[in-house]
Amino acid sequence: MLERFRQFWTNVFKPISHLLIKLGVSPDAVTFVGTAGVAAGALVFFPRGDLWIGVLVITAFVFADLIDGDMARTLGTSSKWGAFLDSTLDRLGDAAIFGGLAVWFFRGGDDALLAYVALWALVMGSVTSYARAKAESLGMQAKGGIAERADRLVSVLVLTFFADVLDLPILLTVVLWALAVASTVTVGQRMLLVRRQALADPATSR
């Protein structure tokens, strides 16, 4: 759902991407720095309970995901390697965010159940991305579903921020449970989509 806003934010950050190009910075370097920043924000601040600070740090680096892509297109260097690197490092960033929240709930947050819910949301989010990648490697499509990556990322960051600032931990509880369920449903949706394509193609059906 939120993917429709990607172009808007890409245009907003075009001046930054053009400046980095002039400075000789490569898109891959931006990808690595962005992932490192997200991981640091999540794994340094979340386990200590500094949730709103962690969200601000993460958000600042999340936009690198838009900047590196725009840089690659501008330079004409978009490649399979860039797409692979970006997708792979996205999984690491997501793991850091949900993993950092899980560590907090296991420790200072004192809520083991919610920690396991965060880990389940992490696993299902990764499987969602894997399902799409595997389907595309087989010549099929598995896009869509009720919880794509942008939806999951924005939801968990926004509600984590307000849960901490407004001292309303229920917001974080609600979003983690919702994402765990929605991600699981999305995996099922993508599996059904691929199954329909496979059954419709005699060459791929068993």
pLDDT at 5: 56
For the CA atoms of 123, 144, 133, 131, the dihedral, rounded to the nearest 10 degrees, stands at 50
DSSP string, 68-114: HHHHHHHHT---HHHHHHHHHHHHHHHHHHHHHHHHHHHTTT--HHH
For the chain, give every domain's residue range: 2-200
Query: Which pair of tokens denotes residue 206?
Result: 């068993």
pLDDT tens for each residue of the chain, 206 residues long: 445 556 666 677 778 888 888 888 888 888 899 999 999 999 999 999 999 999 999 998 988 877 887 788 888 777 788 888 888 999 999 999 999 999 999 998 889 999 999 999 999 999 999 999 999 989 999 888 888 888 889 999 999 999 999 999 999 999 999 999 999 999 999 999 999 999 987 665 55
pLDDT at residue 1, as a whole number:
43
pLDDT computed for residue 204 by the predictor: 54
**Residues 6+ positions from 166 with CB-CB distance below 8 Å:** none
**CATH 3.40.720.10, domain 2-200, yes or no:** no
Task: Note the Cα 81 to chain centre separation in Å.
Answer: 19
Catalytic annotation, residues: 90
For residues 77 and 174, what is the distance between their CA atoms, to the nearest angstrom? 41
H helices of 107-148, in order, are 112-137
